[in-house]
Amino acid sequence: MITLRKSAERGHAQHGWLDSFHSFSFADYRDPAHMGVGNLRVINEDRIAPGTGFGTHGHRDMEIVSYVLEGELAHQDSMGNGTAGGAETGKAAGVIRPGDVQRMSAGTGVRHSEFNHAAGQTTHFLQIWILPERAGIAPGYEQRHFDAASKRGRLRLVAAPDGRDGAVTLHADATLSAGLFTGAERAELPLPAGRIAYVHLVRGSLHVNGHPLQAGDAARLDAETMLVLEDGEDAEVLVFDLAP
């Protein structure tokens, strides 16, 4: 069974400095029919105006993945990532740019901030929350770059529980893959029984198992044996394999 979720059906919040679309219930947007998919709880498509951002705030017991599409996002946290001298002490520098995937495990509790310091350029990114396998793990941070060539015409694993193939490590029963498709480029992915596949089209257009999707659209696949991505036009897509 394939269930489509159109971009226009998402929640929307316009705060001036922040323009945000919510795939699932978040903040003031509440829809009992859209509380998440499996252990995936949040996909927010955010655009942050230059010189603004999220001030220091806290999280707990959540795997948080950030995926930047345009601009850059400066991150600082209570673990020391993004602070002055952080890179020299083995911490991450904390600025993520297109092609980067950042994973922050909130665990027992972490505080962080996210800002767009780039003059005259809006930061466009996705913020993704996935429930961890268990509560109370130690907070952690990881950041990796995946160039366009590694995603061209194929699905590139970017986040996984075991961190295989150079993906960031999720403390959750889920994987995340990213791909770029245009023209004749095509990918097929066998889907394991008892799992949920969730496809979120970041930009462009793409057919998912024959169904046309536009930027911001999504497709949930239940009890399907194969995922087929084809007929893309400047498409960038994220594919989640999720626990039910």
pLDDT band for position 92 (cuts 50, 70, 90): low
**Model pLDDT for residues 221-231, shown as the tens digit of each residue:** 999 999 999 99
User: CB under 8 Å to 116, separation ≥6 — which residues?
Assistant: 48, 49, 50, 51, 52, 53, 71, 72, 73, 74, 122, 123
Distance CA 5, CA 9 (A): 7
Q: 116-120, 126-130, 158-162: lowest mean pLDDT where? A: 116-120
Across the range 181-192, mean pLDDT stands at 97
The shares of helix, strand and coil residues in the chain, as percent rounded to the nearest 5, are 5, 55, 40
End-to-end CA distance of the chain: 14
Say how many domains are in the chain.
Answer: 1
The whole domain housing 84 covers 2-242
For 136, phi then psi, to 5°, come to: 80, 20
Distance CA 103, CA 170 (A): 7
Share of the chain above pLDDT 90, in %: 91
Q: What is the CATH number of the domain that holds 211?
A: 2.60.120.10
Residue 89 has pLDDT above 90, yes or no: no
